[in-house]
Chain A
Amino acid sequence: MSGAVALNDRVAKCGGCGAELVFAVGSSRLKVCEYCRYVSVRTPQGVEGLGAVAEVVPTGARLSQGLRGVYEGVGFRLAGRTQLQWAQGVWDEWYAAFDDGRWGWIAEAQGRYYVSFRVIPRQVPPLAAMRPGRVVWLHGLGRYVVTDHRVATYVSASGELPESFPIDGSQVHLVDLSGQDGAFATLDFGDGSEEAPTIFNGREVKLEALRIESGSFPTARPAAKSRELTCSRCSAPLQLFNPAEAQRVTCTHCGSLLDATEEPLRFLEKLRTPKLRWPLGSEATFEGVTYRVAGWMERDCNVYGETYSWQEYLLYAPKDASYRYLLMSDDHWSFVTPLAAGDVESGYDGATWRGQTFRRFSRVQARVRQVWGEFPWAVAKGETVQAIDYIAPPEGLSEERSATEINWSHARYLTPQEVWAAFGGKGTPRQPSGVAPLQPNPWAKSAKAMVWTSMVACAVAVLMFTVFIARAGGRMVLNQQVTYAAGKMLGGDETLDLPSSVADPNQSVSVAFSEPFTIEQGRRNLRVEIDSNVDNGWVWVSGALVEEATGEVRPFGLESSYYSGRDADGEWWEINTRARTYLSSVPAGSWVLRTEAVWPRKQRAPQVTLKLTSGVVRVTHFFFVVFLLLLGPAFFFIRSGMFEQARWEQSSESE
C-alpha cells in the first residue's frame, strides 16, 4: 500500500506520479492526486498510498470543489468529493471543511442538499431490522423513520477527504433515516457486518441555505452529459430533460425504453406509444414554479376484484432539478409533492402531517402498467409497490413502500380548470366523472354553513312557540251535550218538527242550536270536538258557527263512529267516536252553534258532546316549522353523505 512520500505534515509526494500533494485542510486524511487520481492517506506513521480511483462521473452537480459557503453562521469550503453508486444511479458527497475545525458532508442528489456531521455512536437496531418505514429513536436526536437501505459502492473521489473509504469496489450498506422538519441521518453499516454503524446526522437544506459565495457559483445547472445521446435501436437523437439523473428514457421515434445509465443506451423493451393529454416537454406552472412533462406512466391496482387505473405525469423543474407528479384518474387531477418520511406519523387508521390528520383510504399493490418518457429511477413495466393512501380532501398523503425504500408524498386536488390554466389554458378541460378520493365535497360546506343558520332559526321558532303558548289562552267557550231526536229541531224555546220531505228515507236528521256564547279574544283559532255514544253505527254532524251581529258563518263537518264485532280472529273494534277540527282565526263576538246530525234510521238517536275551545296552541304547527327549517340542512347533509359514500366505495377500507 505504501507509495506516497511524506514531506511534512501538509505536503507529500504522490505515490502514483510523484506530483506534490498538499493537504490544505487539517482534518483531511486522504488526498486524490489531481493528475493521476492516485489516493494517498495520512497516517501517524506517514503517508501511504491506497491506489488509484476512477475519473469523476459527470452528474450535473451544482456544487464544485473549492466553493466556499456559510452554513448556520460558520464558513466552510468544499475540499473534496466522493461519488457513490447504487441501483438507482450515482450521487455526490461533498467534504465540507468548516472554519471552526469541524467537517461534514453535503450530499447532492436530485436537486436536494443534505448537510450532515458525524455523531457519537448510539444504540440502533441491527441492519436486518432496518425495514423501510420502521421508526428508530436516536438517543438525543429524536424520532426517525427508515426510508431506504442502500447498498452502494464508492466509484470515484477527488480533492481531499476526511476519512478512508473502500476503493476496491466493495459494497457498503447505508441506511437513510428521515426525521422531522428536514432532519435526516445516515447509518453506515460498512460491509454489513458492523453492529454499531457510523452515524451521520443533519438536515435537508435549500441550496440558498448554504450561502455559497457568489462569483464562482454556476447560476444554471451544468450539463451532466455533454455528448449527443442517440437511441441504440433507431439512432434517433434523444433530448434529455435531466441528463444527470435520467435512469430510463424512451425514444419517442421508435418507442424503445432505454437504460440511460449506460452508454450506448441499452435497449430494454419496446413500448406502445400512449396517447398523452400533455405531451412530453409540455410546460406548466404550478405554485409559481415552471415544470416540464418529463415522463408519464399508467398504474393500476385491484380493489375487491375491481381494477382502478390512473395516470401519472412526471414533472421536472429545471430551476432546481426537482420533480413533482400530476396524477389523473377519470379526469380528476392532483398535484403531488414528495415529502420527508420523518415529517409524517402514520398509524393503522390514519396519518398526521403538519398537525393535519388524514384518514386511511386504501392499501393496494400499485402496478406500473405503461411508461413513457424520462425517469430518474429505473422504472419498469410490471413493478409493484405497496401504496397506502390517506385522505383529508382536498389533500392527501401517500406512502409507497418497497422492500428497500419508503416514499411519502403529499397530494392536492386540482380542478381541470386549474390544470388547464397551468398548461397555458389551451383547449377545453374534460369534465371529471365519478367522485375522486381527494375531491372536495361540494355539499359539506353548505351543510355545515346551514347548521348554524338552522339552529338559530329553530331557536327563534322555539321562542315564538313559547310566546304563542303564553298568548293562546285555551279557553273553552262551549261544552254542551245534545241528545238528538229524529225529525226534530232542538234548542231555543221550542222543539219543532222538521219537514219530512227533505230527509233521506234511510237516515234520520235532527238539528240543534246552542245558547249564545261569547268568544272574548279574536284572532284565535277555535277547536271543535265531538264525542258520541253511537254503538255499531255513526253520526255525521254538520256544524255552523253563526255570529248573529255580523252574520258571519263558520261551517264544519265531523263524523263520529263506533264499530265492534267478532270474527275468526276474535273480537275487534273500530273506535272513532271522538273527532275534532280547527276553525281559522275566529273573531271575537257572540256566537251560536247550529249542528245538524244525520245517522242511520235504524240506529237509535245519538247523544253528542260538543266542545269548543278558543285559542289552542298547535304543536303540529311548531313541528312542521322545525321540519321546514331542517329540510335545507338535511338535504345538504344527505347529499354530502351520498357524495362521501361514492368516495368511500372506491376505498379498500370500506368493507
Chain B
Amino acid sequence: MRLLYTAFAIAVLLGYGAVGFNGYELGGGEKKELPQNARQASGGWRSFHFWHVGYMGGK
C-alpha cells in the first residue's frame, strides 16, 4: 500500500511540476487560430462580422 501511495505521490508531484513550470490552467486552455485570410485581409479579424458570422461562428 505504501508503494502504491508513493507512486501516486510522485505522479501528483510530477503533475504539479508540469502545471507550475508551464503555467497550465484548468479550463483556461481553449485555443483558436485566426485563418490566414482573416489575418491578411484589410480589416480582417478586427471586423465585427468576423467574430459573429465569420470563422469564430458567433456567440
Residues of B within 8 A of A446 (CB): 1-2
Tell which of B9, B34, B39 has the most Cβ of chain A within 10 Å.
B9
Q: Mark B9-46, 1 if CB is under 8 A from A, else 0.
A: 11011011101111111101111111110010000011
Residues of A within 8 A of B9 (CB): 453-454, 457, 629, 632
Shortest CB distance B49–A (Å): 7
A280 within 8 A of B: no
Are B23 and A523 in touch, CB under 8 angstroms?
yes
- Residue in contact with A513 in the complex, picked from B23, B34, B46, B52, CB distance below 8 Å: B46
Shortest CB distance A555–B (Å): 6
Chain A residues 568-620 with CB under 8 Å of chain B are 581-586, 594, 596, 615, 618
Are A551 and B39 in touch, CB under 8 angstroms?
yes
Residues of A within 8 A of B52 (CB): 502
Q: How far is the CA of A592 from the CA of B25 in the complex (A)?
A: 21
- Residue in contact with A450 in the complex, picked from B5, B15, B28, B46, CB distance below 8 Å: B5
Are A546 and B45 in touch, CB under 8 angstroms?
yes
Residues of A within 8 A of B36 (CB): 551
Residues of B within 8 A of A633 (CB): 5
Per DSSP, are chain B's interface residues mostly helix, strand or loop, or mixed? helix
A554 within 8 A of B: yes
- Residue in contact with B17 in the complex, picked from A464, A548, A584, A586, CB distance below 8 Å: A464
Q: How far is the CA of A552 from the CA of B53 in the complex (A)?
A: 19
Are B16 and A502 in touch, CB under 8 angstroms?
no
Are A555 and B1 in touch, CB under 8 angstroms?
no
How many residues on chain B are close to A (CB under 8 Å)?
39
- Residue in contact with B24 in the complex, picked from A450, A544, A581, A584, CB distance below 8 Å: A584
User: Chain A: which residue is nearest B36 at the CB level?
Assistant: A551
* A513-B46, A548-B39 given; A468·B20 CB < 8 A: yes
Are A632 and B46 in touch, CB under 8 angstroms?
no
Per DSSP, are chain A's interface residues mostly helix, strand or loop, or mixed? mixed
Residues of B within 8 A of A642 (CB): none
User: Chain A: which residue is nearest B35 at the CB level?
Assistant: A551
- Residue in contact with B29 in the complex, picked from A453, A468, A548, A584, CB distance below 8 Å: A584
Residues of B within 8 A of A551 (CB): 33-36, 39
Residues of A within 8 A of B24 (CB): 525, 584-585
**B residues with CB within 8 A of A:** 1-2, 5-6, 8-10, 12-13, 15-17, 19-26, 28-36, 39, 45-46, 48-49, 51-53, 56, 59
Instruction: Given contacts A622-B16, A632-B9, list 10 more A-B pairs with CB under 8 A.
Output: A450-B5, A461-B13, A502-B53, A546-B45, A551-B33, A552-B32, A554-B30, A585-B25, A594-B46, A632-B8
Closest 8 CB pairs of A and B: A551-B34, A584-B29, A584-B25, A525-B23, A457-B9, A553-B32, A524-B23, A582-B25
